């Protein structure tokens, strides 16, 4: 998975999650890609377990997030925020010996439970794109 693809899919998810009436053509125009590319991106997000669906509104096919989905742990966090926190697990790995390391692990466990199980392999692949290293 290329960085540009991941970033575009992330932005698509955030826009749909925001509840805006979003069509594939709107997204294609916004990202400078074809509508077909956007449909593939949405399909990849759906296959990863993100509950996206389309509906007709004013003769246009718009993309939405399943109603009530964000209610689980997401009463305080959006799906995109939970995913971003999950990504930060690798970035915080250098804190392994810190006094709050166990608390971080517990928090990441809760985040993992709140995310769709089918999304986790997708998020793991994206997470591998980011790394934090200590400089010697």
Q: Does position 95 have pLDDT exceeding 50, yes or no? A: yes
Q: Distance between CA atoms of 108 and 2, rounded to whole angstroms?
A: 25
- Kindly state whether residue 134 falls inside one of the protein's structural domains: no
Look up the CATH number of the domain holding residue 10: 1.10.10.10
User: 9: domain range?
Assistant: 3-65
The helix-helix angle for 3-17 and 24-31 (nearest 10°) equals 130
CA 88/CA 93 separation, integer angstroms? 9
Choose one of 49, 65, 81: the last residue of a domain: 65
The total of structural domains in the chain comes to 2
Tens of pLDDT, residues 104-120: 788 888 878 878 888 88
Q: What is the pLDDT of residue 73?
A: 46
Nearest residue to 55 (alpha-carbon basis) of 23, 18, 12: 23
pTM above 0.85, yes or no: no
pLDDT digits (tens, 9 = 90+) for 15-66: 888 877 799 999 999 999 999 999 999 999 999 888 899 999 888 899 998 8
| Band of pLDDT at residue 11, cut at 50, 70 and 90 | confident
pLDDT at position 19 is 77
By the 8 A CB rule, do 49 and 119 touch?
Answer: yes
The answer to whether residue 136 is domain-embedded is no
Query: How distant, in Å, are the alpha carbons of 51, 55, 69, 134 from that of 21?
Result: 16, 10, 17, 43
Q: Which of 65, 86, 106 corresponds to the end of one domain? A: 65
């Amino acid at each position: 998975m290329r960085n540009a693809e991941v970033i575009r899919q992330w932005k698509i998810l955030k826009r749909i999650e925001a509840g805006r009436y979003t069509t594939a053509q709107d997204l294609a125009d916004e990202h400078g890609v074809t509508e077909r590319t956007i449909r593939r991106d949405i399909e990849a997000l759906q296959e990863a377990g993100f509950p996206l669906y389309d509906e007709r509104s004013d003769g246009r096919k718009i993309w939405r997030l399943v109603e009530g989905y964000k209610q689980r742990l997401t009463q305080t966090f959006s799906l995109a925020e939970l995913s971003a926190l999950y990504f930060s697990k690798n970035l915080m790995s250098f804190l392994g010996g810190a006094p709050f390391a166990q608390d971080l692990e517990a928090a990441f466990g809760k985040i993992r439970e709140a995310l769709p199980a089918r999304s986790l392999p997708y998020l793991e692949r994206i997470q591998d794109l980011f790394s934090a290293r200590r400089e010697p």
